[in-house]
Amino acid sequence: MDSQTIKLIAIGLIAGMINGLFGSGGGTLVVPALVFLIGMEDYKAHATAISIILPLSIISTFIYLRGKAIPLHMGIVIVSGGMVGSFIGAKFLKRVPNNILRKAFGSVIIITALRMIFR
């Protein structure tokens, strides 16, 4: 097994654990890992992270549903808005220059972290 395969497996393992613990936050780790450890282009890393998070989220969802931890009425409403937002975001991803994409992504992560820490 080559070093890139080992890195990819490690990225997946960590993303899965983060997804299960924090609810689909694995993308915040997958994107930088793919860009800085693997050398993937930013927009491809974002697109890949989305495709990786889907199966991880499905597994977590089944576990949370079994434990009755999801208020389904809220989830359905949020999913409907999220589907529209995902469509729009996916259409625009490749049109956003890398430097703006990195700054926007980094800013969202920093703002979210600060809100979580100081809330």
Mind listing the pLDDT tens digit for each residue in 46-85? 899 988 888 888 888 888 889 999 898 998 999 999 999 9
Mind listing the pLDDT tens digit for each residue in 84-109? 998 999 899 889 998 998 999 899 88
Please give the pLDDT value at position 107: 93
Cβ atoms of 60 and 21 within 8 Å: the answer is no
Q: How does the average pLDDT of the chain come out, rounded?
A: 89
Cβ atoms of 26 and 56 within 8 Å: the answer is yes
pTM: predicted TM-score of the whole model, two decimal places: 0.74
SS3 23: coil
For residue 64, give the DSSP letter.
H
For residue 40, give the DSSP letter.
-
Whether residue 23 has pLDDT greater than 80: no
